[in-house]
Amino acid sequence: MNDPISHKLFERAQALIPGGVNSPVRAFRAVGGDPVFIARAEGAYVYGANGAQYTDYVGSWGPMILGHTHPEVIKAIVAAAANGTSYGAPTELEVRFAEKLTQLYPSIEMVRAVSSGTEATMSAIRAARGFTGRDVTVKFEGCYHGHADFLLVKAGSGLATLGVPDSAGVPSSTAGHTSTLAYNDRAALRELFAARGDQIAAVIVEPVVGNMGCVPPVPGFLEEIVALCQKHGAVSIFDEVMTGCRVALGGMQQRTGLTPDMTCLGKIIGGGLPLAAYGGKRAIMQQVAPLGPVYQAGTLSGNPVAVSAGLATLERLDAGAYEKLEHLASRLEQGLLAALARTKTSGHVQRVGSMLTLFFNDGSPVRDWADAKKSDTERFGRWHRAMITRGQYFPPSQFEAAFVSIAHTEADIDATVRAAEEAMLERA
Ligand code: PMP
């Protein structure tokens, strides 16, 4: 805001890149003003092209759980790069990566590395279809699972932000294979299975939603998904691209004790480099080429530099790290709630571990997309702009989760809460 350097860069960017950005939410359309162009980052902070410091609650949309430029992660990246940046051939590193993921996620018996969360979900569903011989995918409104055609139906994240839950360019014949239900609606799920259970290949779910803002599952919802899939021979897929290694080292499946048939991972497991993975039951993963007839491949899949960054990150995530994240994020949650009360602003904070969202709504809990979209997005935009001017970098949309890292300090959180309270009072 009032940052001439970002403004000039944004003009140059808009001339050549759609919306001036390489991923839509970054354009700040939902909150107004120019996006901050980032020049560098360290620990809990990002620095704008104009040199301004921001306390970062975006964390590259999730991966930076250790904070930015963690010395051990950078060391691992540099060491790996010195040995060559890509071979397109198997490496010991990716074997260690597979061993690590299968150890952290007991539901994953075999795993394949890919380069983005989009590839992970798209490939998991292809494998589920190949395995079941069925076509229908069930997803939940407001959940975002990347930008594969058949998953861009009533999707969250940037689509929710821009108010276009369905993308143009997706053939209706493709979208027709996707059934969408309200998140947390167990009865609707039971009805759908009763009517079409023998056609359903997979149910894919964000076990805590991050992409309509942070929305936790109601008790029994995830259990019902796993049980109904099992009963009807469909494949349950936990899309833990965001929650994986975030809400616990073993993701939401560790917190719930549930065993989905398949799991998608991304973000944190790549330590800030392009790396993701999908895996699950051996019988399903054995469908994937070259073992089976389901094709999936990638030039940079299992890239040694990315895998090194991921392993270095995972090695640093011990029980102490999650205790610290819980403590800091709880302090932020309590601080924001107190700020709402002190400023007589109506709103609600939802948090699971170190992911959270401040909803500017009537104070009610948000359980699904119908609830989320009742939020006052104008009010959120005003608050966000006021936060940026105070050096606080939150996701530029009401419908995204903010993340705390272990590089944040209590002093950072307290300063953020003070800024948030001032920002709630700002009228412009
Ligand atoms: N699934 C979930 C739950 C996500 O949050 C995201 C991205 N925010 C994706 C899939 C897609 O991942 P990517 O952006 O790496 O393609």
Q: What is the pLDDT of residue 166?
A: 83
Point out the ligand 1 atom lying closest to the alpha carbon of residue 121.
10
Q: Is the CB of 207 under 6 A from ligand 1?
A: no
Lookup result for tokens 């975002």? 144
Q: What is the token pair recorded at 142? A: 């407001």
Known catalytic residue: 239? yes
Q: Is the CB of 250 under 6 A from ligand 1?
A: no
What residue ranges of the chain have pLDDT lower than 70?
A: 1-2, 428
Q: How far is CA 163 from the centre of its chain?
A: 19
Point out the ligand 1 atom lying closest to the alpha carbon of residue 211.
5
Q: How far is the CA of 393 from the centre of ligand 1 (A)?
A: 20
DSSP letter for 209, please: B
CA distance 99 to 279: 12
Q: How far is the CA of 397 from the centre of ligand 1 (A)?
A: 16
Q: Is the CB of 240 under 6 A from ligand 1?
A: no
Q: Interior CA angle at 401 toward 400 and 404, to 5°?
A: 145
Q: What is the token pair recorded at 397? A: 């949309």
Q: What is the token pair recorded at 419? A: 């800024």
Q: How far is the CA of 226 from the centre of ligand 1 (A)?
A: 21
Helix H or strand E segment including 13: helix 4-16
Report which of 67, 46, 45 is spatially closest to residue 321, judged by C-alpha positions: 67
Q: Whose CA is nearest to atom 1 of ligand 1?
A: 145
Q: What is the pLDDT of residue 2?
A: 66
* CB-count burial class (<10 Å; 0-12, 13-18, 19+) for 84: exposed
**Substitution candidate for ligand 1 out of 205, 212, 241 with most atoms within 8 A of CB:** 241
Condensed to tens digits (0 to 9), the pLDDT of residues 305-332 reads 999 999 999 999 999 999 999 999 999 9
Question: What pTM was computed for the model?
Answer: 0.98
Q: How far is the CA of 208 from the centre of ligand 1 (A)?
A: 13
CA distance 330 to 356: 9
Domains, the chain, in order of start with CATH, read: 4-69+318-425 (3.90.1150.10), 71-315 (3.40.640.10)
Point out the ligand 1 atom lying closest to the alpha carbon of residue 61.
8
CA distance 125 to 235: 9
Condensed to tens digits (0 to 9), the pLDDT of residues 351-394 reads 999 999 999 999 999 999 999 999 999 999 999 999 999 999 99
* CB-count burial class (<10 Å; 0-12, 13-18, 19+) for 349: middle
Q: What number of CA atoms fall less than 13 Å from residue 287's CA on the CB side?
A: 19
Report which of 261, 258, 242 is spatially closest to residue 129, judged by C-alpha positions: 261
Helix H or strand E segment including 263: strand 262-265
Helix H or strand E segment including 320: helix 319-342
Q: How far is the CA of 313 from the centre of ligand 1 (A)?
A: 19
Q: Is the CB of 61 under 6 A from ligand 1?
A: yes
Report which of 25, 11, 57, 42 is spatially closest to residue 358, judged by C-alpha positions: 57
Question: In 307-410, where do the E strands start and end?
Answer: 348-352, 355-359, 392-393, 402-403
Q: Which residue in 34, 56, 185, 239 is the catalytic one?
A: 239
Q: Which residue in 45, 54, 105, 144 is the catalytic one?
A: 144
Q: Whose CA is nearest to atom 12 of ligand 1?
A: 117
Q: How far is the CA of 143 from the centre of ligand 1 (A)?
A: 10
Q: Which residue in 139, 154, 267, 373 is the catalytic one?
A: 267
Whether the ipTM is more than 0.85: the answer is yes
Lookup result for tokens 């109904």? 228
Q: Is the CB of 244 under 6 A from ligand 1?
A: no
Q: Is the CB of 361 under 6 A from ligand 1?
A: no
Report which of 146, 221, 214, 193 is spatially closest to residue 365, judged by C-alpha positions: 214
Point out the ligand 1 atom lying closest to the alpha carbon of residue 62.
8
Q: Is the CB of 397 under 6 A from ligand 1?
A: no
Q: Is the CB of 43 under 6 A from ligand 1?
A: no
CA distance 393 to 408: 13
Q: Residues in the chain, how many?
A: 428
CA distance 78 to 71: 10
Q: Is the CB of 158 under 6 A from ligand 1?
A: no
Q: What is the token pair recorded at 14? A: 């808009």
Q: How far is the CA of 359 from the centre of ligand 1 (A)?
A: 21
Phi, psi at 87, each rounded to 5°: -120, -20
